C-alpha cells in the first residue's frame, strides 16, 4: 500500500468518515463494545460467586456445628471411641486444609498466567502498535476523541 501525502492514512480516514456515523466509526467502537459487555458479565459472575461462597460458608458452619454436636453425643455415650473421634477430626481437618492449599495454589497459578498474558498484550501493543500502557490511541488519535 502506497504512502499517502498530507497527513497519511489518518487524514484519508477523516475525509471518508466525515459523514454521519460511518462504518469506520462503528467499527472503532468494537473493542469498547466487546470489553464493556464482557466486563459487565464478569462483574455479575464475580458478585454471584461471592454471594454463593457466603451462603455456602453459612451452610458449612451450620453443618459443622451439627456434626460436632453429634460427635460429642457419640463420644459421651461411648467413652472408648472418644480418642478415635478426636484423631479422626484432627486428620479430617488436616486433609481439608491440604486440599484448600492446593486449590489456593491453583488460583495463584491462574493469576500468574493471567498477569503474564496481560504483560504479553502490553508488549504487543508497544512493539506492534506503538501504544504505551494506558495510552489507548489509534493512529495517534485518542479514543476519547473518536
Cell of 138: 489509534
Mean pLDDT score across all residues of the chain = 78
* Helix/strand/coil (H/E/C) assignment for every residue in the chain: CCCCCCCHHHHHHHHHCCCCCCHHHHHHCHHHHHHHHHHHHHHHHHHHHHHHHHHHHHHHHHHHHHHHHHHHHHHHHCHHHHHHHHHHHHHHHHHHHHHHHHHHHHHHHHHHHHHHHHHHHHHHHHHHHCCCCCCCEECCEEHHHC
Structural domain contains residue 51 = yes
Name the burial class of residue 146, with classes exposed (0-12), middle (13-18) and buried (19+) by CB atoms within 10 angstroms of its CB. Answer: middle
Structural domain contains residue 13 = no
Single residue among 77, 105, 123 that ends a domain in this structure: 77
Domain that holds residue 128: 79-133
Stretch 26-39: mean pLDDT: 82
Structural domain contains residue 142 = no
- Contacts with 89 (C-beta within 8 Å, 6 or more apart), sequence order: 71
Instruction: Tell whether 29 and 72 lie within a shared domain.
Output: yes
Single residue among 77, 106, 121 that ends a domain in this structure: 77
Structural domain contains residue 71 = yes
Instruction: Tell whether 32 and 71 lie within a shared domain.
Output: yes
CB of 15 closer than 8 Å to CB of 22: no
Cell of 136: 489507548
pLDDT per residue over 96-107, tens digit each?
999 999 999 999
CB of 104 closer than 8 Å to CB of 112: no
Looking at the DSSP bridge assignments, the partners of residue 137 are 142
pLDDT per residue over 106-143, tens digit each?
999 999 999 999 999 889 888 888 877 666 555 555 55
Q: In the prediction, which pLDDT does 79 show?
A: 74
Looking at the DSSP bridge assignments, the partners of residue 138 are 141
Amino acid at each position: 500500500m502506497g504512502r499517502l501525502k498530507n497527513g497519511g492514512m489518518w487524514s484519508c480516514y477523516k475525509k471518508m468518515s466525515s459523514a454521519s456515523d460511518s462504518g469506520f466509526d462503528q467499527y472503532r467502537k468494537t473493542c469498547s463494545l466487546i470489553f464493556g459487555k464482557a466486563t459487565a458479565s464478569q462483574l455479575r459472575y464475580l458478585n454471584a460467586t461471592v454471594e454463593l461462597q457466603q451462603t455456602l460458608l453459612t451452610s458449612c458452619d451450620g453443618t459443622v456445628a451439627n456434626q460436632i454436636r453429634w460427635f460429642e453425643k457419640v463420644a459421651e455415650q461411648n467413652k472408648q471411641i472418644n480418642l478415635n473421634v478426636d484423631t479422626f477430626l484432627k486428620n479430617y481437618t488436616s486433609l481439608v486444609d491440604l486440599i484448600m492449599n492446593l486449590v489456593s495454589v491453583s488460583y495463584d497459578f491462574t493469576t500468574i498466567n493471567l498477569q503474564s498474558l496481560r504483560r504479553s498484550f502490553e508488549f504487543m501493543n508497544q512493539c506492534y502498535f506503538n501504544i504505551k500502557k494506558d495510552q489507548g490511541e489509534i493512529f495517534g488519535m485518542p479514543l476519547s476523541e473518536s
